[in-house]
């Protein structure tokens, strides 16, 4: 069998690209943001932080915070018909304003 090359960041050249004005240091506020159970969050990946990064399929989805695991959050999302529980670092999450 042929060994497949690549991994989780395969075919993500444009998906993980930052806009020109977003480049530079990351705000400490993004690292330390807090969410409560039941909050709606938007998954947006910070490409310069690899820790707690979700898989590329889940970028742009909205999920519900189920709890906290270490310094990461458990986020429940719908992927087709199935519900999935993702463990995501808060730097990759953004609160949804309704």
C-beta neighbour count of 93 within 10 angstroms: 25
Q: Of the candidates 28, 55, 49, which has an alpha carbon nearest to the alpha carbon of residue 63? A: 55
**Mean pLDDT score, 14-18:** 91
59 vs 97 pLDDT, higher one: 59
Q: What is the distance, to the nearest Å, from the Cα of residue 67 to the centroid of all Cα atoms in its chain? A: 15
Residue 56 confidence (pLDDT): 92
By the 8 A CB rule, do 84 and 65 touch?
Answer: no
Hey, what domains does the chain have and what are their CATH numbers? 20-95 (2.30.30.70)
Q: Please give the Cα distance from 15 to 7 (Å, whole number).
A: 15
Give the model confidence (pLDDT) of 21-79 as tens digits: 989 999 999 999 999 999 999 999 999 999 999 999 999 999 999 999 999 999 999 99
pLDDT band at 82 (very low <50, low <70, confident <90, very high): very high
């Amino acid at each position: 069998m042929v060994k497949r090359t690549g991994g989780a960041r395969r075919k993500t050249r444009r998906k993980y690209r930052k806009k020109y004005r977003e480049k530079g240091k990351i705000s400490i506020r993004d690292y330390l943001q807090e969410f409560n159970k039941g909050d709606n969050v938007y998954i947006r990946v910070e490409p310069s932080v690899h820790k707690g990064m979700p898989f590329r399929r889940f970028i742009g989805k909205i999920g519900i915070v189920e709890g906290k695991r270490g310094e990461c959050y458990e986020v429940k999302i719908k992927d087709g018909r199935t519900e999935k529980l993702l463990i995501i670092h808060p730097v990759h999450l953004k609160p949804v304003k309704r």
